[in-house]
Structure formats: structure tokens, C-alpha cells
Amino acid sequence: MDPRHLVEHAGWLTDTPPTDVGFVPASLRRAPMGVDALDTERLIVNMGPQHPSTHGVLRVLLELDGEEVVAAESVIGYLHRGIEKLAEHRRYNAVGTLMDRGDYVSGIHNELAFALAAEAIMEIEVPRRAQWLRVLMAELNRIASHLVWYGTFGLDTGAMGQFLYAVRDREALLDILEDVTGQRMMFNYVRPGGVVADITPTAVEKIHAFLSTIDTHLDEHDQLLGGNEIFQGRVRGVGTIDLETAIAFGLTGANLRASGLGFDVRKDRPYAAYDEMDFAVPMSSDGDCLARYLVRMGEMREAVRIVRQCIEGLPEGEFMAKVPKVLRPPVGEAYAAVESPRGELGVHLVSDGSDTPYRMRYRPPALYALQAAEAILPGTLLADAVVILGSVDVVLGEIDR
Amino acid sequence: MAIDRFTGENSILFIRSEQLFDWARRHSLWYMAFGIACCAIEGLMHASGPRFDFDRHGVFFRASPRQADVMIVAGTVNEKMAATVRRLYDQMPEPKWVIAMGACASTGGPFREYPNVVMGVDKVVPVDVYVPGCPPRPESVQYAFFRLMDKISEKTGERLAARHGSAG
């Protein structure tokens, strides 16, 4: 056996000198000698729970063949803290504190879903001003939530600047929410019967200041990230979820609307004061990551429109209905759903007549989005897997509960 | 008095290597980008955002534990997560510090009644600074970093004093 191939490149073993460019020896076109006989191995990559682009403590096991994902399995439960069980030991007014910490990016929507379910059992008539305040706060919270998604989705695709601009706008929103509710993230603002505090004059000023700049800022966002050719190359045609898959997995919200079905709880089963609002539902039928991006950016513009209507037409009156201090709903059950930034967020509440819920079931929209993303991962590239997981907007607090 | 700054025991000329290193560590506390729950939005995202801009204190995020000095435990740690937190802590090079951010990381917070939740991350890793709040404001985390800086310089003094004491 000629031992030279062990120390030298296989191409040098042929008689033809490699400088002759007119003829390429067969051995040069193949991999160096010895490698052909080997089997390639599939690699299992453990992405998470500590990974900068899994948006929390998601762990995804990826089986890779080269750079292609062959199989994907997500492991959840790293943030399981028993919100549903603990709600059985909280009075009705206190469950909101737990709901806030479920989907911590959009607390108002979580509280609202629980409050609507409790009101449905108790048959409370909520004052009109409270309904409008709920819509106002929910839409402000929706913009704040989409800004978190927008900032981190850009990070997933390799951009950095848009994150800082998103946080700039979010700070203005959190100032408004803090002024009204007293907290930057965990509001506990929406209670069964209404809202806990009226809007303050300083908050109205802040909302007007926010509304005067947000349109130009949204244009800026569209140019900065959406108009970026590299970003478009990373997201166009990547991670396509067709409508059948989307419906089969129970996707809701922007993920479903990006796949071509215009289902929106705010339009189809109006709650609070959404039937009085004039807004459009942005849609797309492409189903790829770019479509999801465009739908969410469109939703932010629509949310700004709703905030404008709320602040102009806010009716006078009480902000809290006459409800007893300790709520004791009659025996019964109710399901209430809201359109959270991630989709249909539902609360199924069962009451046994005591001052704590008998059972509270919480439908987290991100759980279904994660399963759909997991299903479309095989066949994509590893770099695209990060983009796909980012595009469906998962919040692990909501998934694990 | 003025000449003491240059020739005294703790002067610039006779600065000890520990003092020099700790001075450098105080002003480049890189934290690990490891958000567990809600606190991560406030303590990691808004902290590095334009308003609070921790970068001006030398506090910046690194994606890998191998490059990090500080671990901010931002969120509820449950039994499944605890092993990972410990492992990440072990992967960080010495010297390292831990900030327990928020009620959950300090005591278990609103979820402490649930059997799956670890009642404070100090059951898993040693904690240097506890930050109260649910979630704490970014200013609180900023203050925690200032306290950590104080703690590092105090430790230098203690170490030097102990060495002087043992040397006689």
C-alpha cells in the first residue's frame, strides 16, 4: 500500500500534475481518499434552554444531517409553575396577578380573558367606560407586545439596530401603562366588573404624545427591518405553514391570518367594546415568515387606529360596576376568549359557588403555534429553524403555565 | 496628604494586583443573556435598551456562560430548570457573581406554594445580590449592579486585610 495518502492530499497521487488546469483528475473531484468509505453521522443539537434566540426557556432537540434539520422535538416545562392549580386557591380578584405572569408580555389580555369569564358566570353588567378603557389598554399592550416580538425577531435574523428602536417605543408605552395601572408589566388592572382605576390626565397627555410620533416610528421600523434586503432574503419563502396545517394545529391570531384565514376574535366574537370600533384585520395568504411579519406590523397600525378612536370617543361614567368586595359567583361554568397578540386566548372557568374558582383552564395560543412550528421544521436549514421559531412568536410563560 | 496618593500604602505606585484586577472587574461586569421568565423583559431587554443603557456602566450581555461574569437569574426557577441553572453557573469562569432578580428568584414569589417551584435560587447557586420586586424596575437592577461593584471592592479590602493579619 502506498502510504503517501496518509500525509498528503489525494490529488498528488495521480500522475497528472495538478497545475494542468485542462484536465482534472477524477481523484480531485471527489473528497480526499479515505473519506468516501466513511458513513456520515447525524448530529443531534440541543438548542436551549439557555439560548439567546429561543425566546425564553424553550429547548429544541434538532437532528441534523449536515446543515439540514431531519427531525425536531421541542421540550417544554422549564417554566411550569402551576398557574392553573394556584388559581384554585386565589380569590377572584387575585387571579389576575397569576394571569399577568402567564403571558407576561401581554398581561392586560390575560386579565381580560379571566374577567370576562367571571363576569359571564356572575352576569355582571360592565359600565361602558370600563369597556372602552379595557380596549384602550389592551391595544396599547398589543403594540408593546408586538414590539418585543419585532425586536427579537430581528435579532433572530441577525439584525441588531431594530431592537433598540423597538425598546425606545416600548418605553413610551410602558410609561402610559404605568401611569394608569401603577406597574410596568404586571398590571392587575382588569378585574371582574370593570377596571381598577380611571385614566389619568397625565396618561392622556402621554397617549397623545405617543400617537403623534408612532406613525413615523412605524414607517421607520418598516424601512429599517422590513425594507432590508438581507432580512427579506432570510424570511421570504421560509417556514411556510399552509392553511390546512394551520387549521389542523389549531393556530390562531397573526399566525393563522398569515396563512390565509381571517379569523379574529375581536371581529367574530366581539368582547368589551370591540363591536364599536372601526378597524381592519390585516391578512396574507403566503404563510411564510415574511407574511407573519407583515401581518403583525399591520396589526400594530390597526391598534394605533383603535387607540385613537378610544381616546377621542371615551364615554363618561363609572369605571367599575357595583360588585361585592368578595366575589362569590353562582355554580356554573363559562368560556371566554380574547384576541391576545398571540391568538385566541381562552379561559374556561368553573365555579362551585365558593370565593375561589373550582377549576380554571387556560388556553395558551402560543402552545399551538409552537407545535405547528415544530412540525414544519424538518427539511429546513438550521439557520432557518431559528427564524421559524422566532416568527411564530412564542412566550414560554404561557406555554408552560 | 497629596503625596500619599502616590507613595502611600494603597497609592497608585504601590497598587496591589488584586486591587487592579478588582477595579477592572468592577467596570466590566458582563452578564449572561439568560432570561427565564417575565423579569427578563425588564432586567435584560429594557436594561440594554436606549433609556437605561447599562452599557455605560460596562454592563453588557454575552450569549455564552464562558464569557460572562454575572448571572442574572431573571424568573421563576422550577425543579426542571434548577439543574440547568446550576450547570450554567458551573460553566462560568471564576470570579463569578449571581444576582437573584425579582421575588421568584429570591423566595419563590407568587408561585412558592406550588411544589414544583424552587423557593429561591439560593437553594441552587450562591447569590450575591437580591433584588425585590415583581418584576423589579430596570433601575433596581442598575442599583443591584452598583451594590455588586461595592461588594467587589469590599472583598478586595477584606482579602488584603486578612493577608496583612496572617503575615503578622
Does residue B1 carry a pLDDT above 60? no
Q: Which secondary structure element, helix H or strand E, spans residue A68, and what is its range?
A: strand A68-75
Better pLDDT: A50 or B138: B138
Does residue A158 carry a pLDDT above 90? no
Of the pLDDT bands very low, low, confident and very high (cuts 50, 70, 90), residue A26 is low
According to DSSP, residue A93 is labeled T
Residue B114 has its nearest CB partner, among A78, A85, A186, at: A85
B78, B91, B121: best mutation site toward chain A, by most A Cβ within 10 Å? B78
Contacts of A217 in chain B (CB under 8 A): none
Full set of structural domains in chain A with CATH: 83-400 (1.10.645.10)
Which among A159, A131, A59, A157 has a CA at the least distance from the CA of A309? A131
Residue A82 has its nearest CB partner, among B63, B114, B137, at: B114
Residue A383: predicted pLDDT: 86
Count of C-beta atoms within a 10 Å radius of residue B46:
25
**CA-based nearest distance B38→chain A, Å:** 6
Residue B168: predicted pLDDT: 43
**Average of pLDDT values for B109-116?**
87
Contacts of A170 in chain B (CB under 8 A): 46, 49
Which among B63, B57, B56, B53 has a CA at the least distance from the CA of B31? B63
Contacts of A168 in chain B (CB under 8 A): 49-51
Does residue A143 carry a pLDDT above 90? yes
For the packed helices A161-181 and A128-157, what is the interaxial angle rounded to 10 degrees? 160
Contacts of A167 in chain B (CB under 8 A): 45-46, 48-51
Residues within 8 A of A (CB atoms), B 81-100 only = 81, 84, 88
Give SS3 for A48: coil
Please state, for a pLDDT cut of 70, what percent of chain A lies above it. 89
B135-B139-B144 Cα angle (round to 5): 85
Enumerate the β-bridge partners of residue B101: B74, B131
* Contact partners, residue B158, CB within 8 Å, separation at least 6: none
For residue A21, give the C-alpha cell: 488546469
B86: nearest CA in chain A?
A: A50
Q: Give Cα A88 distance to the centre of its chain.
A: 27
Q: pLDDT by residue (tens digit) across A229-269?
A: 888 888 888 888 888 888 999 899 889 999 888 888 888 88
Check CB contact under 8 Å for A89 and B41: no
Q: Determine whether B145 is exposed, middle or buried from the number of CB atoms within 10 Å of its CB (0-12, 13-18, 19+).
A: buried
Does residue A36 carry a pLDDT above 70? no
Check CB contact under 8 Å for B50 and A167: yes
Check CB contact under 8 Å for A171 and B37: no
Check CB contact under 8 Å for B81 and A85: no
With the C-alpha atoms ordered A250, A252, A256, A262, is the resulting torsion angle positive or negative? Answer: positive
Which residue matches cell numbers 429547548? A59
Residue A323: predicted pLDDT: 85
Check CB contact under 8 Å for B34 and A50: yes
A57, A104, A164, A165: best mutation site toward chain B, by most B Cβ within 10 Å? A57
B31, B32, B41: best mutation site toward chain A, by most A Cβ within 10 Å? B41
Enumerate the β-bridge partners of residue A59: A75
> How many contiguous H segments (helices) and E segments (strands) does chain A have?
15, 8
Q: Give Cα B148 distance to the centre of its chain.
A: 6
Looking at the complex, does the CB of residue B49 fall below 8 Å from at least one CB of chain A? yes
Q: pLDDT by residue (tens digit) across A265-282?
A: 888 888 888 888 888 899
Which residue matches cell numbers 443539537? A45
How far apart CA A255 and CA A248 sit, in angstroms, is 13
ipTM here:
0.81
Which among A288, A268, A273, A281 has a CA at the least distance from the CA of A373? A288
How far apart CA A348 and CA A387 sit, in angstroms, is 33
Residue B5: predicted pLDDT: 57
pTM: 0.84
Tell me the CA distances in angstroms from A72 to A64, A65, A256, A258, A354, one per residue in order. Answer: 9, 12, 22, 23, 45
How far apart CA A27 and CA A74 sit, in angstroms, is 43
